[in-house]
Structure 1
Amino acid sequence: MPPSRLFRSTTAAAAAATAALALLISGCSSGGPSPGGAAPGRSTEAGAGRPASDGSPLEPLPAVVPTALRPYYDQRLSWHDCGVAGFQCATMKAPLDYDKPDPGTDLKLAVARKKATGPGPRIGSLLVNPGGPGGSAIDYLQQYAPQPAAVRARYDMVAMDPRGVARSEPVECLTDRQMDHFTQIDTTPDTPAEVGKLVTAYRNFAEGCEARSGKLLPHVSTIEAARDMDILRAVLGDQKLTYVGASYGTFLGATYAGLFPTRSGRLVLDGATDPSLDSRTVNLEQTAGFNTAFTAFATDCVKRQDCPLGTKSAADAGRQLSALFKKLDTHPVPTGQDRKLTESLATTGVIAAMYDEGAWSLLRTAIAQAKDGNGRALLALSDSYYERSASGHYANQMYANPAVNCLDLPAPFTSPDQVRAALPAFRKASPVFGDNFAWNALNCAYWPVKPTGTARRIPAKGAAPIVVVGTTRDPATPYAWAKGLAAQLSSATLLTYVGDGHTAYGRGSDCIDTAINTFLLEGTPPAKNKRCT
């Protein structure tokens, strides 16, 4: 059961999933989140028929730092060795409540950096965020995001786990055993009893978060995280923020630009989200985005002799996958563990592979094995998506994710009846995933904290040039969202990758990488409407 609206970078999500599955398929031991995009028959790239937003714009904060916040901006970080080669770590203080800062309730936010290596003069600090919400920026920096040598040479590479995430006062909700049960709940309920079990699961999840993290839950919004980033910019000694954000990290970066346009430097927003969309539209369009990705996978699959979904057509492959899910709904298959592969876990495993076309061959093998009664490989994909370790421990991403999402926007649905009414639209968006994604979108209905945010356009007037990157067949952040964000931001340039997968920077396109590196190093954005393959 992936939480609703999970936006995370391909590198952070799919690399781990692909590695885990590769180990299993080779015979070795391995030692939410929400899906969506444009409806079938409608190009995600064109965004045809998409309603314009009438949301009010996000207004900038006053340029002068309030006196009550001055101590946070004036603090000095004490850096120490992280234990990871070349990295230093520190702890930064931020107010729990920006409206009522109180040193007695301050949050301690984890920061890491790798100083510029040279040659060439240092430009400043480059902050990175992999998305989620809930992804650890520090893990991302240390494991996957060293950036090209030319960029490393000129920037201190910096990451901060946002409030509520990983090392920064993490939101906690369930025990590992409870989370195992939660991920196996049926998210395509066929009877009133199954609907009741799903609602109970959402209520229990929310109650667990309130019991373990109640004080923090009202204060993990994207606006508050963006304000934390401005404190970090100041304590690092930078006049303007330089930033590369992926997936949800684009919403965080755009929010920063909207709040602090005059302090925004070179921002790269890759795999962009559209902040002007309400939560129901976001979920529906993301559903179709995964359908677009699955159609691309299926089209490739049916051309191959080893396709486990037949060789007729992409539509037929979708029907065969749906049949497999339906079979698993009533007859889960063994995995070699004490957990069987259920329909919900299998669906999550397929979703994980949609983030990166490099995982397609492994997904074909995993589906074939599941059809033969061996669910081990699809379970491995699902576990990596949930960040479940081999020991059975879950990272906190799946707890931080709904905590942020349910605070940022009002719930898309407030009752099972509303989900039932929306099922035809979700099924049209994705015959394979529609029911699953619609019911997943019910999770915020039972959240213990009322939302503080709303859908808003972000013009960020006065900001320096911003590069927005969109991939035409992106499953998690449909291309129409990149076009929407680029149209809102007054200084944005849209850079397009024509291809598959989620996000584009550092994924093999020399055209994309050169354009972004040039922008970061020289401040020159790519040409208007530049497209890369």
Structure 2
Amino acid sequence: MRRLVTGVVVAALLSACTAGPSTRPAIVVRGGDAFTPPTDALPAPAPVPPLGEPGPGSVRWSECPPETEAALAALPQPPTAEISCGQVNGVVDSPYSPGRGTLRIRVLRAGTGEIPVAVFTDADGLPGTVYAARLASRMPEDFLTRFSLIGVDRRGTGDSSPVRCLPSDIREDLLTADPRALAVDEWIDLARSSGQNCSIALERRLPALDTWRTAADADAVRTALGMDHLHAIGVGEGSRVLSVYAERYPERVGRMVLDGHPDPDDDARAVAAGIATGAEAALDAFAADCVTSGCPLGATAREAVIEALDGPDPGLLLRGVHIGLRDRTAWPELAEAVAAARGGSYDALLEYTRPLVQDTDEVPARFDGTLVLRCNDTKSRLATEQIEKTASELNERYPVFGALAGQWLALCGPWPVSSKPVPQTTAKAAPPIVVLATASDPVTPLEGTDRAVRRMATAVGVTWQGAGHGALAVSPCATDAATAFLREGTVPRDGTVCPP
């Protein structure tokens, strides 16, 4: 049976590239704009759930493992809250063995407040445990007297059965080459090899690594914390986990804040165009900030970035800039790294990408889990001609980040479509959900987050006119709106705009 399962998945990966061309128009047309909400009368919104008090939970809190402690020590802002770690048991739930298999989910508690708030993040960013500890160090001091942040390493990442499936040479070939060279045939060959290697390494686990099943893990965390409702914060792809949770378990939704929701458009070309738009806007904001803050790049920040990409391993350098743009508070360090690269020293800029590439016995390369989770969640499968056309258009329109965004169309091309694709969430039976958006977000662009808000019947949108990935604990206005909702259940006015 082991060989049969692997063979079936490999066959799917090999045949997926032969799908016929789509008849959809060019990338300038946004498929999401054609979405029609259900026409049946919506029920009145459920009330904001009470915070409640935790009942007997099953998590045994103790010291964190060495790799987590090392990651916490490496943060620019070491967490000041009390930190402990634990484990929650979930269910693998592979389509080959529905409802079976034990998955160990790593959780971290930051703070001593009575009410737990789960934190879910992006697959390619800091693990949820480490991110929650960092977030705790940036939140208002009195917040953690009432709440504890419970960071969750989503399945396949961090210390929750992390994915380890790519040979180092394939991973390096994928990440080091310059996407702007538009070597689409090479992308697809590498993507096919990646899929085959991951299907062999992961076998039955491969199709179980997706957002649908991660939402079930979130409910396992709720139960283990002894809570009737899941109070939670989602960042980027973590927001999608929580919106799917609201679709699957509306009666268990507590007070949820989604900080940058991915574009729900089913057309991956439209999503890629949006990400390129957001990344270019974030780069423009970084350049403008350099002028006002007196960074070492002065008025030539954008030009300096482009010059820095001419160094060795341009794909990694490009990804390094993209990662650096995420954290608005750390832009001074990004400016220093770009200035050093401009002068021929690339180590600081490449350091941003080290977690993506470096595979050790203790911590696997982050890119493997990102590839599997993202491709399992992507519905679009395009023919080579479509990928070439779209990548070329994106590269022309967005000269820094367009090809990088378009490359994902090729990387996920040979992947079999998930047995549980991400649903179009309406959350019509859920209580109010607060969604924060950032005007120049390089990961979850404003237009895509706005589209997600429009599709969720009970979502309330708050937009920060700033830049970076996420507004929580960066924008005082957005943070006040989010914490007032979590503390008192005060729902902000939909359409609230926070100054930059």
Report whether the alignment pairs 1:377 with 2:373. Answer: no
CA 1:48–1:510: 2 relative to 1, 3 Å: farther
Task: Report sequence identity in percent.
Answer: 25
Report whether the alignment pairs 1:342 with 2:286. Answer: no
CA 1:280–1:396: 2 relative to 1, 3 Å: same
CA 1:222–1:55: 2 relative to 1, 3 Å: farther
Pick aligned residue for 1:441 from 403, 409, 425: 409
SS at match of 1:174: coil
Would you say the 8 A contact 1:276–1:456 is kept in 2? Answer: no
Name the counterpart of 1:36.
none
Tell me how far apart the structure 2 counterparts of residues 393 and 201 of structure 1 sit (CA, whole Å).
26
CA 1:265–1:358: 2 relative to 1, 3 Å: closer
CA 1:186–1:530: 2 relative to 1, 3 Å: closer
Counterpart AA for 2:426: P
Report whether the alignment pairs 1:139 with 2:130. Answer: yes
* Cα shift readout 1:100-148 (whole Å, capped 9, x = no counterpart): 5455x3222223335644xxxx4x3211112226752122223443543
CA 1:106–1:306: 2 relative to 1, 3 Å: closer
CA 1:215–1:532: 2 relative to 1, 3 Å: same
Tell me how far apart the structure 1 counterparts of residues 224 and 449 of structure 2 sit (CA, whole Å).
31
SS at match of 2:33: coil
Report whether the alignment pairs 1:221 with 2:226. Answer: no
Report whether the alignment pairs 1:504 with 2:475. Answer: no
Report whether the alignment pairs 1:171 with 2:163. Answer: yes
Tell me how far apart the structure 2 counterparts of residues 134 and 87 of structure 1 sit (CA, whole Å).
21
Would you say the 8 A contact 1:242–1:265 is kept in 2? Answer: yes
Pick aligned residue for 2:379 from 404, 410, 415: 410
Name the counterpart of 1:158.
150
| Cα shift at 1:51 | 4.9
Name the counterpart of 2:35.
54
| Cα shift at 1:531 | 1.7
Would you say the 8 A contact 1:164–1:216 is kept in 2? Answer: no
Q: TM-score, normalised by structure 2?
A: 0.78
Would you say the 8 A contact 2:275–2:443 is kept in 1? Answer: yes
Tell me how far apart the structure 1 counterparts of residues 222 and 96 of structure 2 sit (CA, whole Å).
20
Q: How does 1:43-442 map to 2 (within 5 A)?
A: 51-54=32-35, 77=58, 79-83=60-64, 86-97=83-94, 100-101=97-98, 103=100, 105-114=101-110, 116-117=112-113, 122=114, 124-132=115-123, 135-145=126-136, 147-176=139-168, 179-189=171-181, 194-301=183-290, 308=297, 317=302, 321-322=305-306, 325=309, 328=310, 332=311, 341-383=312-354, 386=356, 388=358, 395-411=364-380, 413-415=382-384, 417-442=385-410
SS at match of 1:442: helix
| Cα shift at 1:96 | 2.4
Larger RCO: 1 or 2 (CA < 8 Å, sep 6+): 1
Compute the RMSD of aligned alpha carbons.
Answer: 3.3
SS at match of 1:97: coil
Runs (5+) with no aligned partner, structure 1: 1-46, 58-73, 333-340
SS at match of 2:199: helix
CA 1:323–1:155: 2 relative to 1, 3 Å: closer
Tell me how far apart the structure 2 counterparts of residues 96 and 272 of structure 1 sit (CA, whole Å).
25
SS at match of 1:351: helix
Runs (5+) with no aligned partner, structure 2: 1-27, 39-54, 70-81
Counterpart AA for 2:375: C
